[in-house]
């Protein structure tokens, strides 16, 4: 028999008992919907969890510190940096050292009109900044020789000494604030740090020292990476070393790094790399310790929800089997006739399997459509019922927490699963049909 004919016969048979087919398909549809919706809720939960974690900090950064503040045997030094760089899965390593002095001021403008106080200044391997996940939003990373990278909002930490106290700074928080808590429409600052020459003024017990600096670039604000990305400066380690040599005066001593930042290629390698660093005797800190239990819990919930959905699809499978058995007992004579007329046994089997599979497929496809619509509705309700929220409910986006997320693989999986359930539950009835002898045709009614 030709495949086209088999398909036609299978559809004809399904159309023959419309209401029964409809009810069976409905069973599969509900089962498929419940799986998709349940799993999508789990995925949505996980997605918002990941967003939450990402807001708390970069998930793939491990901060390495020495026990006993570096006074013990293990030290944060250059050999360690080299060893960390050679670990598998590590894409970027940079030591971090902050400038700890009595006071830091940044001066700008003619006759030092603009002054930023209490700025934080750190030294890092500026070549590694990009690899560590720092985003340069303007300009380029510093290349040493007085070049620095400024925090995104350094410009707003300057005060205008010619204005009266209390009204001499521009508050970037005055405007509207968007849903993620960031101000929109920033007011123009007094100056652009990248365009004006700056002077770094450092005061220690040995005196006050001035260093001219140029801002080569601006990094995006990231609280997890430190305040310097917001309103501070990042300079190269060698520059910081030179600066320290000068300002420490007589009490010259080589300070160990505060910490070493290690960037790992992907989330799933963090735990492994972190473990390796720990065995070297260092203390580590990463989002992994928070993420792991959260992920585990999310997975458990997801499994539970998916399991509930699977139960209803299993019930639907029983429905398919029941329908097929009924239709076979009704069609016993027909099958006998077909066999008597020379229909191959395999064709009979394929015919019934195709019917069961088609029920699964139709139920799966409609189920996916229905659950996609349901998912959008759930999201719309959770975000707020208005047409402009529709794209956010459909596609999600920055700062949008969708309750239900349906990735394409889930739909594909659901359809495939429904078809398999159909075929599986049609297997027994199909075998039953195959066993019907041609003799049935000759038996009189």
Partner 1 sequence: MNPPNARSRPIIEVNNVRKEYPVGDETVVALKGISLEVMRGEICCIFGTSGSGKSTLLNQLAGMEKPTRGEVRIGGVPISRLNERQLAGFRQRHLGFVFQSYNLLPNLTATENVAMPLLFRGVPKAQREAAARKLLCRVGLSHRLDHFPRQMSGGQQQRAGIARAFIARPDVVFADEPTGNLDSKTTLEIMDMICSFARDFHQTIILVTHDPEMAAYAHRIVTLIDGEIVRNQVNHKENARHGTSPFPQSSVPSAPPGLADGGPARRAGGGER
Q: Round to whole Å and give the CA distance between 273 and 282.
A: 12
Nearer to partner 1, 223 or 344 (CB): 344
Q: Any residues with CB less than 8 A from the CB of 377 and at least 6 apart, and which?
A: none
78 binds partner 1 per the rule CB under 8 A: no
Q: Could you tell me the smallest distance in angstroms from the CB atom of residue 346 to partner 1?
A: 7
442: β partners: none
Nearer to partner 1, 327 or 401 (CB): 327
Q: Round to whole Å and give the CA distance between 175 and 389.
A: 23
Q: Any residues with CB less than 8 A from the CB of 314 and at least 6 apart, and which?
A: 31, 421
Q: Could you tell me the smallest distance in angstroms from the CB atom of residue 15 to partner 1?
A: 9
Nearer to partner 1, 301 or 331 (CB): 331
N- to C-terminal Cα separation, the chain: 29
2 binds partner 1 per the rule CB under 8 A: yes
Pick from 1, 87, 191, 374 the residue near partner 1 by CB under 8 A: 1
344 binds partner 1 per the rule CB under 8 A: yes
Residue 146's alpha-carbon distances to 123, 231, 383, in angstroms, are 12, 18, 48
Residue 62, burial from CB neighbour count under 10 angstroms (0-12, 13-18, 19+):
buried
Using CB under 8 A, which of the segments 33-41, 158-166, 268-276, 436-444 binds partner 1? Answer: 436-444
Using CB under 8 A, which of the segments 2-10, 45-53, 171-179, 305-313 binds partner 1? Answer: 2-10
Q: Round to whole Å and give the CA distance between 355 and 12.
A: 10
Nearer to partner 1, 258 or 355 (CB): 355
Q: Any residues with CB less than 8 A from the CB of 352 and at least 6 apart, and which?
A: 324, 328, 426, 429, 430, 433
Pick from 4, 69, 167, 254 the residue near partner 1 by CB under 8 A: 4
Q: Could you tell me the smallest distance in angstroms from the CB atom of residue 435 to partner 1?
A: 10
Q: Any residues with CB less than 8 A from the CB of 113 and at least 6 apart, and which?
A: 160, 161, 162
Q: Round to whole Å and give the CA distance between 29 and 316.
A: 8
431 binds partner 1 per the rule CB under 8 A: no
19 binds partner 1 per the rule CB under 8 A: no
Q: Could you tell me the smallest distance in angstroms from the CB atom of residue 14 to partner 1?
A: 11
Pick from 338, 356, 414, 423 the residue near partner 1 by CB under 8 A: 338
Q: List contacts with partner 1 (CB under 8 A).
A: 1-2, 4-5, 12-13, 16, 333-334, 337-347, 437-439, 441-442, 444-445
């Amino acid at each position: 028999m030709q495949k086209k004919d088999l398909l036609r016969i299978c559809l004809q048979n399904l159309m023959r008992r419309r209401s029964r087919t409809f009810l069976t398909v409905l069973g599969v549809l509900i089962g498929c919907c419940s799986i998709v919706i349940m799993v999508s809720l789990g995925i949505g939960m996980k997605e918002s969890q990941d967003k939450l974690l990402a807001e708390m900090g970069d998930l793939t950064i491990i901060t390495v510190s020495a026990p006993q503040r570096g006074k013990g045997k293990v030290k944060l030094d250059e050999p360690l940096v080299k060893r960390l760089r050679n670990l598998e899965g590590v894409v970027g390593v940079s030591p971090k050292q902050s400038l700890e002095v009595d006071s830091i001021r940044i001066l700008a403008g003619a006759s030092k009109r603009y002054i930023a106080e209490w700025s934080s200044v750190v030294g890092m391997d500026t070549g590694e900044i990009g690899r560590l996940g720092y985003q340069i939003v303007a300009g380029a990373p510093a290349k040493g020789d007085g070049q620095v990278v400024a925090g995104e909002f350094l410009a707003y930490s300057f005060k205008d000494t010619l204005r009266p106290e209390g009204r001499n700074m521009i508050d970037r928080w005055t405007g509207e604030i968007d849903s993620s808590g960031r101000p929109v429409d920033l007011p123009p600052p007094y100056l652009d740090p990248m365009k004006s020459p700056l002077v770094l003024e450092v005061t220690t017990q040995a005196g006050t020292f001035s260093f001219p600096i140029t801002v080569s670039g601006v990094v995006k604000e990231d609280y997890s990476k430190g305040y310097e990305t917001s309103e501070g400066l990042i300079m190269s380690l060698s520059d910081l070393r030179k600066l320290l040599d000068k300002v420490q005066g007589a009490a010259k001593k080589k300070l160990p790094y505060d910490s070493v930042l290690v960037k790992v290629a992907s989330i799933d390698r963090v735990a492994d790399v972190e473990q390796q660093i720990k065995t070297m005797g260092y203390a580590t800190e990463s989002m992994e310790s928070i993420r792991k239990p959260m992920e585990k819990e999310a997975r458990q919930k997801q499994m539970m929800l998916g399991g509930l959905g699977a139960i209803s699809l299993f019930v639907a499978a029983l429905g398919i089997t029941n329908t097929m058995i009924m239709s076979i007992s009704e069609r016993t004579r027909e099958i006998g006739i077909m066999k008597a007329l020379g229909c191959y046994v395999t064709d009979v089997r394929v015919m019934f399997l195709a019917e069961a599979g088609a029920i699964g497929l139709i139920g799966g496809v409609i189920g996916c459509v229905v659950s996609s619509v349901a998912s959008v509705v759930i999201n719309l309700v959770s975000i707020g019922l208005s047409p402009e929220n529709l794209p956010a409910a459909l596609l999600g986006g920055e700062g949008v927490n969708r309750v239900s997320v349906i990735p394409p693989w889930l739909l594909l999986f659901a359809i495939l699963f429904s078809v398999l359930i159909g075929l599986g539950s049609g297997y027994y009835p199909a075998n039953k049909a195959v066993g019907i002898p041609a003799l049935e045709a000759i038996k009189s009614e």
